[in-house]
Structure 1
């Protein structure tokens, strides 16, 4: 399926003579042979898989899909947590010029059904019984779906359904005609075109049904080839834990490793993340700001529980490092900074699993400048990146050059400009190829190759980009003052007691906020202060906890002008998860949904 971006032809991208991602995958896997490509934990032991394993299993998937009659441009979908089967399926699907559609495993069955019908997926790969149940709930509403493959059959050994088969049975489908089908596999790869649709990535659907962004081979190759703008390459070890259906994680854990030969390590689960990162000690990590906020909170509480001497040593080490990094300090100061870094900060980096990390990449949401400063002082380089599903990652900060608070400079092959109303426009070799089945939405978003991002920003004299806010989220108070709520929200989230915040105030006399507390840290505080509570709701409604959050907000308010300060707040007393409609799959509060659902709570503040 060849596609073309409206009124603009982006340049073809070649990597080592390959103009499609499947060609690059085949070439590099065969060249790397038995060197390690990935690791996955099985029964507590990290098991390694080579590039030869990666290619052989992906080809098995492709051959099995061919045996099911999949034609060029047909769609296969995956709903699963990250695992080796996910990437085998992804590359096997792309290898036969079919389209891989990843779905967030937290989707409800009706949300899954909408996407599957929109993409017209013919085959669905599900992780386990939980995900299979979603298909069974919606089966009669899925006319295009012909086959369902289950990765993990635990609890399903006696289950039988005409459309459902195990992963093992699926892989065996091509056995009888394997020689012919493997020839067809190579022919399909050879026939691939740069503008062929390779993957579908659906937006989170904050203001309506999600849209399927069409991603071509050109897009993936351009994102795989972003070094040195992103300092990842051969020898790097990644920990893969964010959903692979997210554009950025797909780039970091699939495209870049295949390009450079980096190794990916699949985290066992969200619950074991802290242990997994310690064991892997990755050299580079990509995550959203909430992960980095948790890192800071964890160390903050360790220090609170530590000895007075330990706290003094920690604070001294941070001060010395900060002074040296700023270019100041005598010879003795620099030596003292090295000593305290080794004796104190190195142990913190080991505790967090970032002792080997040369680069932390943060993206998908704004991050507090205070948090960036803390990591920098800790001795770890943090690069903030910017992009969207529709463009890929297109900027990143330059260590030592880009100012704190910016998202850096445009990559090779990327044009940036600011529209008259402040909206950021992007034209890049990684531009998406339009929205699936939604030409009118594509026309609203892309004009002459320029993607209208919906973000408000500015460029400084060095080309560093600053994101101010989402265009639709800018608050205009009753007094006519324009407020960018994300600035206040990011500073509030720097507090170890605040997990997320939504600032309210459009057409109102003053700003207020809805606060989601950090359950773990606030519960710990309550236990230490002997504040009684029985559950999350009672914790949020306790006056002592409200006073705690009030003090945190008052502290943040000091850094803002009076009109920009939060005057009142309310706590959301429901423990939200990615399954709830208020949160995106990447755990960001949906502003419009929150404002509608908690309208009465907001009204009580005015």
Structure 2
């Protein structure tokens, strides 16, 4: 990669290696490709249109520069808009498509957004509904053609030499220290905060993370993208693709990922652990449909994969792995297009069991760690065997420093650390105390410099007996059971620790069928004594790994999965603990009615 200072320097890099399928999206059942030249033309045409709309760098300050909003599914137009805004010195303010109307209004007003791009009629209606309360918002542009809204394509007109000179004059003045985007965090603990990231912040992460991705043996340099592009993880990785000559294919939606993979045959993609869990659930369900020797081989192959270690395996194990690979794992890879070498995971902790299973199947799981404020990667497991370790989030990225505070909090310093929170100097000073960014996460670094996350600082609670409990390690360990989909450990100011558990219903229904249990609904399943006893045995099997105060003494099985739309999860899939506690207040009170330390299951 040629040395770059700004994100839009990727345009020059792409001209050295133009591609016919640079950006790709499926429209009406057919893949539509933009060549490098076509995409660049649209970027400059949109940049000229933005200048005509009055978008400019203003006086050069963060407050003085125009803000451009963007709410859309992942598609080529998203990236074209991002790069056009950069070229004219604007600041992009991206939002999740499922952002609530109230939160959308707060963000657009606080950021003083001047114009906004949306993907479709539904989002246009949401923005129109709040526009009257956002005085600065003058223009709404839609990627889809809809009534009474400016259409994206209508803005794109041939650029004149005058336009090109105006764009160049502005872009040439933009430095690596200029803010390129303000990303509002998903807010697990309250009101979203506007994270100001500079070109240098993100480019440094692109360079460091890019060196890790270059270890992956790619065949066709194709990547499938389906995570939201307004999340810094997907955006940063996208710029790795742009700088390193990849073609990007955007999945139609979350339900078509499997089919799109088989069509695109990507070498790698980014994901969250939740998706990996869903993929494996489908694999298990299909395997359970087999019979006789085929089913025995399938179940045996999973046991082999669960024993996988990155180093130090015996010759006999390697023989078993080779057999399982030929008979079973090869079919898994084929279902993902046949060319996938690695999956890069972020956002939340991945169960070690899943990491082992997929890596054993030659789909190497590279789990990393970071925050929006760190652009985002701090550490990541690498493709090379000596650079990855199960149960950790990997090694430090190049030029990134980490130290562990006296209370165990992870502190970070480096070129990836944000400029600060927009219009919030007090909170900025608090999290950047002593020149180190305070992550809010608790962790430890082992003798080989691998970082392990042990908990969230704000999520550790104290029982009424004065004992501290870190819920995340308990949740992560128990979620390794194929029967547990989601789990939240509770017990603040209570006499003992308990939990809310969302079963993995595909696996639980299989078990019920094998036991000849009839059921009509999820609620009916979780009320059956045999099912409660089953989960008691699962919880008991894990409890032995924790000390007395950490052991889950009671639990409640829930009939509904926690979702983003339901309000229990943030757009990045993290639990909103306060919301969940409030929603299931009655169930929690029932768990603690007797305040006894006796192990009981809540019916």
Could you tell me the TM-score, scaled by structure 2's length?
Answer: 0.90
Q: CA 1:337–1:454 in structure 2 vs 1: closer, same or farther (change >3 Å)?
A: closer
In structure 1, the residue matched to 2:402 is 416
Q: CA 1:538–1:122 in structure 2 vs 1: closer, same or farther (change >3 Å)?
A: farther
**2:69 corresponds to 1:85:** no
In structure 2, the residue matched to 1:601 is 587
Residue from 198, 201, 208 that aligns with 2:180: 198
Q: CA 1:324–1:393 in structure 2 vs 1: closer, same or farther (change >3 Å)?
A: closer
Shift of 1:49: 2.0
In structure 2, the residue matched to 1:265 is 249
Residue from 284, 299, 302 that aligns with 2:286: 302
Q: CA 1:323–1:382 in structure 2 vs 1: closer, same or farther (change >3 Å)?
A: closer
Would the aligned equivalents of 1:205 and 1:211 in 2 still touch at CA under 8 Å? yes
Would the aligned equivalents of 2:285 and 2:506 in 1 still touch at CA under 8 Å? no
Deviations 1:321-352 (A, max 9, x none): 6579654444x76455434312221112212x
Residue from 296, 304, 315 that aligns with 1:312: 296
The 10-residue stretch of structure 1 (504-513 or 101-110) with the greater mean CA deviation from structure 2: 504-513
**2:373 corresponds to 1:390:** yes
Deviations 1:355-391 (A, max 9, x none): 3222221111111122222222222221210111011
**2:226 corresponds to 1:241:** yes
Shift of 1:303: 2.0
Q: CA 1:444–1:430 in structure 2 vs 1: closer, same or farther (change >3 Å)?
A: same
**2:267 corresponds to 1:283:** yes
Distance of 1:219 and 1:536 partners within structure 2: 46
Shift of 1:354: 6.0
Would the aligned equivalents of 1:239 and 1:266 in 2 still touch at CA under 8 Å? yes
Residue from 345, 355, 358 that aligns with 1:375: 358
**2:120 corresponds to 1:128:** yes
Shift of 1:409: 1.4
**2:475 corresponds to 1:489:** yes
Shift of 1:559: 3.6
Compute the RMSD of aligned alpha carbons: 2.4
Q: CA 1:140–1:262 in structure 2 vs 1: closer, same or farther (change >3 Å)?
A: same
Distance of 1:523 and 1:318 partners within structure 2: 20
What SS is found at the alignment partner of 1:596?
A: helix
Distance of 1:17 and 1:244 partners within structure 2: 24
Would the aligned equivalents of 1:19 and 1:194 in 2 still touch at CA under 8 Å? yes
Would the aligned equivalents of 1:360 and 1:383 in 2 still touch at CA under 8 Å? yes
**2:210 corresponds to 1:218:** no
Would the aligned equivalents of 2:273 and 2:348 in 1 still touch at CA under 8 Å? yes
Unaligned runs of 5+ in 2: 58-64, 593-603
Deviations 1:280-332 (A, max 9, x none): 232112111111111222222222221231232234445666579654444x7
Distance of 2:533 and 2:47 partners within structure 1: 59
In structure 2, the residue matched to 1:148 is 140
Would the aligned equivalents of 1:97 and 1:189 in 2 still touch at CA under 8 Å? yes
Shift of 1:21: 1.4
Would the aligned equivalents of 1:108 and 1:579 in 2 still touch at CA under 8 Å? no
Distance of 1:320 and 1:527 partners within structure 2: 26
What SS is found at the alignment partner of 2:565?
A: coil
In structure 2, the residue matched to 1:349 is 333
**2:96 corresponds to 1:104:** yes
In structure 2, the residue matched to 1:10 is none
Q: CA 1:152–1:524 in structure 2 vs 1: closer, same or farther (change >3 Å)?
A: farther
Would the aligned equivalents of 2:273 and 2:349 in 1 still touch at CA under 8 Å? yes
Deviations 1:480-529 (A, max 9, x none): 43322111211333333432111001222221111223455445655666
**2:27 corresponds to 1:27:** no
The 10-residue stretch of structure 1 (72-81 or 513-522) with the greater mean CA deviation from structure 2: 513-522
| 1:301-340 matches, cutoff 5 A | 301-317=285-301, 322=307, 326-330=311-315, 334-335=318-319, 337-340=321-324
**2:445 corresponds to 1:463:** no
Distance of 2:479 and 2:574 partners within structure 1: 12
Distance of 1:101 and 1:18 partners within structure 2: 23
Deviations 1:123-149 (A, max 9, x none): 111111110111122122111101000
Q: CA 1:501–1:58 in structure 2 vs 1: closer, same or farther (change >3 Å)?
A: same
In structure 1, the residue matched to 2:161 is 179
Distance of 1:354 and 1:225 partners within structure 2: 28
Deviations 1:198-237 (A, max 9, x none): 0111111222210010011101211211232344687532
Aligned length: 578
Deviations 1:409-436 (A, max 9, x none): 1111101001111110000111111011
Distance of 2:583 and 2:392 partners within structure 1: 33
Higher relative contact order (CA 8 A, sep 6+): 1
Could you tell me the TM-score, scaled by structure 1's length?
Answer: 0.89
